[in-house]
Amino acid sequence: MAKKVEKKENLSQGVDIRGTKGEGWLYSDIVKDHFFNPRNFMRYGEEDEFKHNAMGRVGSPACGDEMVLWLQVDPKEERIKDCRWRTFGCGSAIASTSMLSEMIVENGGMKLDDALKVKPQDILNRLGGLPDRKVHCSVLGDKALQAAINDYFRQTGQHTRIVTAGSKIIDKELNITDHDIEEAVLEGAQSIEDLQKKLKIGVIHKETIPAIEDLLRFYQEKYYG
């Protein structure tokens, strides 16, 4: 009678984390490493110490994962010299943001134009892949980076370089989109005056105010009821 051989997982190739229904998700050792040892994480209380000149936020804790990315950009070379991040979400989201932060500062830092070319697949490849249902986590990282670079362009008056793909432009001259207003509301904007102070929108082009008011009400109801 043949001896029964118990099949064992090769843990050097990945970690099998079981869901509540028993399904298995295979994570690479790289994902595991970035989850337990995140690079460039913004610890609480360090916000004032880290000298950044760009910040991007995507998602919301109210409806899922949220990522915040702070960048320190060298204005002469337009190169990302340092970054910090904070992610509220699952292990895949944390590992994806950690890997992204490592990618954009290695070898002296990425130039902004090159950083804008980083795609979710680039993050996935460096992580050794993610389970299909967790691929969206790398997409959030990509969007957070784009939002931070857009913030840098806006602060330096380079409005024509702002990337607006997939967004509805509210102010064509300043390249302010509905997503910019959404992020401002998530960061605490509660009135037209708050939005004008942060984004300068509606200050010159008064005709945009009705659309701004509609979006302000929509996002306040969406996130804060």
Q: What is the spatial order of strands in the sheet that 54-59 belongs to?
A: 54-59, 66-74, 79-88
Q: How far apart (Å, rounded) are the C-alpha atoms in residues 34 and 92?
A: 9
Tokens of 15: 């970690």
63 is catalytic: yes
Q: For residue 67, what is the enclosing H or E element? A: strand 66-74
**Contact criterion met (CB below 8 Å) for 88 and 65:** yes
**Contact criterion met (CB below 8 Å) for 130 and 15:** no
SS3 224: helix
**Could you say which of 137, 174, 181, 201 is catalytic?**
137
**Could you say which of 2, 5, 63, 165 is catalytic?**
63
**Contact criterion met (CB below 8 Å) for 144 and 58:** yes
Q: How far apart (Å, rounded) are the C-alpha atoms in residues 169 and 71?
A: 24
For residue 171, give every residue at least 6 positions away whose Cβ sits within 8 Å of its Cβ, in sequence order, or none: 201, 202, 205, 208
Q: How far apart (Å, rounded) are the C-alpha atoms in residues 163 and 179?
A: 11
90 is catalytic: no
- Give catalytic residues, as residue numbers: 63, 137
